[in-house]
Structure 1
């Protein structure tokens, strides 16, 4: 799903805000936006619409030999070899992933 569409069909989903102000982000939306449990998100209101986006990863730039590398300031989950291979293959093929994102694992 990209921008609320899948194969040219507009996809909408509904959820309800509970008394405490919480809402459940539908699974398809979480998967398409790669939101995992514990992901920090940022809310913004723009033109009367609520936007939710992941908070960018806080990194520092470190020199490793002749290369500059972005290193997370906080620990991140380690990717398995299978996850890396799946993502690499998907990016190389340009094929949409199971979540519907073009070129994403």
Structure 2
């Protein structure tokens, strides 16, 4: 389990996510989140991207993101992810 950080809910019901957590989760303004309430706890998750698989005639299957706000996957993102996973295994 991660470390705890305390925050407050304002009169409009908004929760401020501390910067350290936003940075760690890669959250920016407009990021969609799922709030799950279970067993007396509130859990915040980034929802999975909605995708469809297309089967173009004569070509390989293709994954198409239904959300327009999914950033394109870059070589740099893949490299950073691989390095992060490798670092955790050591």
Same fold (TM over 0.5): yes
Counterpart position of 2:81: 87
1:70 aligns with 2:59: no
2:18 to 6, 21, 26: 26
- Would you tell me which structure has more strand in proportion to its own residues? 1
CA distance in structure 2 between the partners assigned to 1:56 and 1:84 by the alignment: 18
Larger Rg: 2
32-41 vs 11-20, which moves further: 32-41
Question: Structure 1 residue 43: deviation in Å?
Answer: 1.4
Counterpart position of 1:38: 30
CA distance in structure 2 between the partners assigned to 1:13 and 1:34 by the alignment: 17
Count how many residue pairs are aligned between Structure 1 and Structure 2.
86
Q: Which has the higher contact order (CA 8 A, sep 6+)?
A: 1
1:51 aligns with 2:43: yes
- Would you tell me which structure has more helix in proportion to its own residues? 2
Helix, strand or coil for the counterpart of 1:31? helix
In angstroms, what is the RMSD of aligned CA positions? 2.3
CA distance in structure 2 between the partners assigned to 1:28 and 1:62 by the alignment: 39
The gaps in structure 1 that reach 5 residues or longer are 5-10, 97-101
Helix, strand or coil for the counterpart of 1:29? helix
CA distance in structure 2 between the partners assigned to 1:37 and 1:81 by the alignment: 24
